[in-house]
C-alpha cells in the first residue's frame, strides 16, 4: 500500500544547505541567484555540483520562503 514511500528520495543535504545559504545571503533574491547559478552551471565544464542541483535548490528555496 505504501510502496511509493520507499521510492521517495531522502532530502539532499547539499541542496538544503545551498538553499539556506542563498536565503541567508540574498534574502528574497535567493531564487534569482539560484537561477543565475543554474544558467552558469550549464556552461561550466566539470562543475562542483551534480546535474540538476540548482533546479532542486530553486525548488527548495521556493518551499522555504513560501512555508510549504
Residue 18: domain span: 13-66
Residue 16, all three cell numbers: 538544503
Asked if residue 3 belongs to a domain, the reply is no
64 and 24 Cβ atoms separated by less than 8 Å: no
22 and 64 Cβ atoms separated by less than 8 Å: no
What is the tally of structural domains in the chain? 1
DSSP, collapsed to helix, strand or coil, labels residue 25 as: helix
Asked if residue 51 belongs to a domain, the reply is yes
Q: What is the pLDDT of residues 5-55, one digit of tens each?
A: 445 555 699 999 999 999 999 999 999 999 999 999 888 876 788 889 999
Asked if residue 35 belongs to a domain, the reply is yes
DSSP, collapsed to helix, strand or coil, labels residue 17 as: helix
Residue 45, all three cell numbers: 565544464
Q: What is the pLDDT of residues 36-45, one digit of tens each?
A: 999 998 888 7
Query: pTM for this one?
Result: 0.78
What is the CB neighbour count within 10 angstroms for residue 12?
Answer: 15
Asked if residue 1 belongs to a domain, the reply is no
Question: What pLDDT is recorded for position 17?
Answer: 95
Asked if residue 8 belongs to a domain, the reply is no
Amino acid at each position: 500500500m505504501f510502496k511509493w514511500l520507499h521510492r521517495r528520495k531522502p532530502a539532499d543535504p547539499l541542496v538544503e544547505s545551498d538553499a539556506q545559504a542563498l536565503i541567508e545571503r540574498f534574502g528574497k533574491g535567493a531564487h534569482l541567484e539560484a537561477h543565475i547559478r543554474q544558467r552558469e552551471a550549464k556552461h561550466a565544464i566539470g562543475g562542483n555540483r551534480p546535474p540538476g542541483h540548482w533546479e532542486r535548490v530553486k525548488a527548495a528555496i521556493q518551499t522555504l520562503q513560501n512555508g510549504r
